[in-house]
Structure 1
């Protein structure tokens, strides 16, 4: 069977700067009946492993290192033997959650991860976090944006390690240049498209100043 995108929602908490909030996270599985990658192993390694079944997990890919996106990554890696991949600029955030366990590999801008015959191109999109990345899969007409771009606007930039002008630059230069019909699969909430979000860029900039 051809590669496909599967979606799981897991629930837990997000903690940063002394606060903790209840959150629902999107976990994305990209692959076929034989192998897959997991994008953002959030909260529940057991549920993610169940969704994978007996497929080979090629990698646990982290769009960034806020705890709600990586809290289940070590357990999922231990269950499956898959490496955890993270952009190195997010290691300080990673260490807040997993001080004694480093990722196995670094994500780099322009790197291509291939699973089930589908290429996922790593786009470094800092702003929400220094090492935030998106994963563009042109063959699937999709981009996985983590918390960089949501249905309705940019990710939050009001906490440590984040910066509003930087996230706007990332969205404008790296994401809004993608084909308008590209589906945006987000870290939280509903999916959208590049074409639906692009007209709001000027409004976001005005709102952020």
Structure 2
């Protein structure tokens, strides 16, 4: 639904243009400030709904209820390349990894996650070798090989591995994927009506 709204409607076109190049959008008659405020208010409403759901679902309020997951939310947006479909895929991935600490009593899921991570790293390393990016490829291949070795040599992993898995994944995603992403061009750039960029 969000993808349809952003890419198939006039509202979405104006909203994206206000984020990509507000000066060009302003020259075409788009009320950039109103669209930016609408986007901030709507995202705040969604964050409020998420917080309300978290408070209701946990049935008890504690200080620090999110347990530092805001950083993971930011990484999800970056992983998704600021697009709804990619962000949803990132949310599923990080949600699964975060759930491991709750459901994995025998560490089998963590072992499977380590094997999957190793396969992904080796595949990325192979792709980078084919693209002649040798230095980056060597790092991925070494890390993937170490993870394969850990998978086959360890019978079980300490429970702390499941606790830190979301944060390690977040750091790996930010370190690797952030090089090929394109955030909105005017993200963080102050805009004042009438100013020329």
Superposition TM-score tier, normalisation by shorter sequence? under 0.3
Structure with more relative contact order (C-alpha pairs < 8 Å, separation 6 or more):
2
Provide TM-score, normalisation by structure 1.
0.24
Provide TM-score, normalisation by structure 2.
0.25
More helix by share: 2
More strand by share: 1
